[in-house]
Structure 1
Amino acid sequence: MARRTFFSFHYQEDVWRCWNVRNCLVVSKDQEAQGFFDGSVFEASKKEGDEALKTFLRNGLNNTSVTCVLAGHYTAGRRWVRYEIVRSVLKGNGLLTVDIHGVRNNDKQLGVKGTNPLDQVGLYLANGKILFAEVKGGKWVRYEDYTLAIPAADLWFDAPTSDTVVPLSKHCMRYDFAARQGQHRWLDRNGGRPGWPLEMHS
């Protein structure tokens, strides 16, 4: 079964780096990519309003089983990257972060390592409901772009058991693309969802 990967990233800042990483990661017939949108389409959706853009991003996740967050200097704070992460959890996609600061941009410049975006989104238990949270101003607050409760059965990791926010990074891998020279391997999770990125090997 083909493993279709959705790539989440900060378009304006990192698109050049992301295209290069994407071309290295998607190397075989059983690895396909989603999530590389034409910039003009993305901007047009934003102009139509938040709900139109949310629909656009949700549709982009269709038929994917893994979400790879390509993290640059500013990615962690981007609203729509966080939305893609949240919708990936709701969809049941496997998640991982790939740091891309070591990849040169179109001006041949290296980037600065940023915060792991999966450190900035998490889950907590409040009044018997599992809810999303995000970091704003250095503090955890309730996530505003999706406010419904999440059934514990819908999660592929242990559900939170208290009002202490558990960041998604606790359950997901982080991988430095340049340090590992872009070498990787996707492995399926035994008995789990297809396309789960369990290990990445040199």
Structure 2
Amino acid sequence: MADNPSDPKYSMGGLLGMLTTQPAQEPDNPLARALGLIPAKPSLPVSPLGAAGDLFPYATMPRTNPPNNLTGLASVDLFQPFGSLAPPRLPVAPLKAPVKRKAFFSFHYDDIMRVNVVRNAWKIDHPDNALMRSFQDSSLWESRKLEGDEAVKRLIREGVEYTSAVCVLIGTDTWVRRWVRYEIARAIVDGRGLLGVHLNSIRHHHTKTAHTRGYNPLDFMAVGKVQEDIWTQARYCLFEKQAWPNGIGGYRWAWNRYSDYTSSVTLPPWLADPAAGYVTPLSQYATVYDYIADDGHKNIGSWIDKAAQGAGR
């Protein structure tokens, strides 16, 4: 039976109350410890998310009803999904020499004018990069009349299939778009590189001004480790962050199984391995750039090449 995200026991107050109760212990004696008269205190293992994030330790949960949907894990701030406790980035292997790449550009069609700035820079030979480049992008299905969701998924699968990396071009509302999330999911499913590029620093073609950044869509997608019980092997699945009723008339963020792809996935080599019952948001390890501030016209080719190499492409 799945956990109910509205159950009061999963409120932050109830959970933190249980987690902050400390066991009784003898007072410390630093002098005796320094003289070796009493043993040093052993260091305790630390949850990947710290005490505030350690909401579902499997050791304290009934074996017959593990929290395999991770509901309630993300009742935290939108801009810092895991506060200041995000783990350090994984060690980066030395990059190989740049090679010819084919990229898939994922975006919200309302941002098409800014997207074209990026696509035009990618299509041409830049003086600093003599490699011929090509791309597929979201317009391959946006521009057609399709019969149902499966037709959209099929075109996205075909578009991503022969590319090295998925580059998410981030505008104001990109983070809420269903098919952008599916394109991100395909990067994980198909073992492609993944990166994001903010577009709103590019001057709008009408107002001639930059716009406020939109939320990073990679904050809302994650890979989680699911283990039904201690006797079964853990597997990796895709999760997305959604707003759920909090039981008192409002909403809270919660990680839930991604409904548009429910099969197991392989953990990408560039993503940290989460503990069983936890997720690793893609934004913690996939690099995100700003097209203007980071000089995307010159550098986007190297960004995509770096993401592709990180995925072993």
TM-score, normalising length: structure 2: 0.56
Distance 1:96 1:117 in 2: 11
Distance 2:148 2:173 in 1: 23
User: Given residue 259 of structure 2, which amino acid in structure 1 is its aligned partner?
Assistant: E
1:40 maps to 143
Per mean C-alpha deviation after superposition, the further-off stretch among 107-116 and 77-86 is 107-116
CA contact (8 A) 1:14 1:105 kept: no
1:9 maps to 107
Q: Does 1:63 align with 2:178?
A: no
CA contact (8 A) 2:122 2:134 kept: no
User: Given residue 32 of structure 1, which amino acid in structure 2 is its aligned partner?
Assistant: S
- Stretches (4+) displaced over 4 A: 187-192
User: Given residue 108 of structure 2, which amino acid in structure 1 is its aligned partner?
Assistant: H
CA contact (8 A) 2:193 2:310 kept: no
2:12 maps to none
Q: Does 1:53 align with 2:152?
A: yes
User: Given residue 122 of structure 2, which amino acid in structure 1 is its aligned partner?
Assistant: L
CA contact (8 A) 1:5 1:34 kept: yes
CA contact (8 A) 1:130 1:160 kept: no
Structure 2, gaps ≥5 residues long: 1-98, 126-130, 228-233, 244-252
1:156 maps to 269
Structure 1, gaps ≥5 residues long: 195-202
Distance 1:148 1:24 in 2: 36
2:262 maps to 147
CA contact (8 A) 2:172 2:214 kept: yes
TM-score, normalising length: structure 1: 0.84
State which of 231, 238, 241 in structure 2 corresponds to 1:132: 238
| Cα 1:5/1:191, change in 2 over 3 Å | closer
Q: Does 1:170 align with 2:284?
A: yes
| Cα 1:67/1:57, change in 2 over 3 Å | same
Residue 165 of structure 1 deviates from its aligned partner by 1.5
User: Given residue 129 of structure 1, which amino acid in structure 2 is its aligned partner?
Assistant: R
Per mean C-alpha deviation after superposition, the further-off stretch among 71-80 and 30-39 is 30-39
Question: C-alpha offsets along residues 88-142 of structure 1, whole Å, 9 cap, x if unaligned?
Answer: 1111111110000011233134322011111110011111121111111122111
2:119 maps to 22
Distance 1:191 1:112 in 2: 30
Residue 156 of structure 1 deviates from its aligned partner by 2.3
Residue 40 of structure 1 deviates from its aligned partner by 2.8
* Structure 2 counterpart SS, 1:55: helix
* Bigger Rg, structure 1 or 2: 2
Aligned residues: 187
2:188 maps to 89
| Cα 1:165/1:54, change in 2 over 3 Å | same
Q: Does 1:117 align with 2:231?
A: no
Distance 1:110 1:151 in 2: 38
Distance 2:225 2:149 in 1: 27
Residue 37 of structure 1 deviates from its aligned partner by 2.1
Percent identical pairs in the alignment equals 36
Residue 171 of structure 1 deviates from its aligned partner by 1.8
Distance 1:168 1:180 in 2: 21
Residue 191 of structure 1 deviates from its aligned partner by 8.9
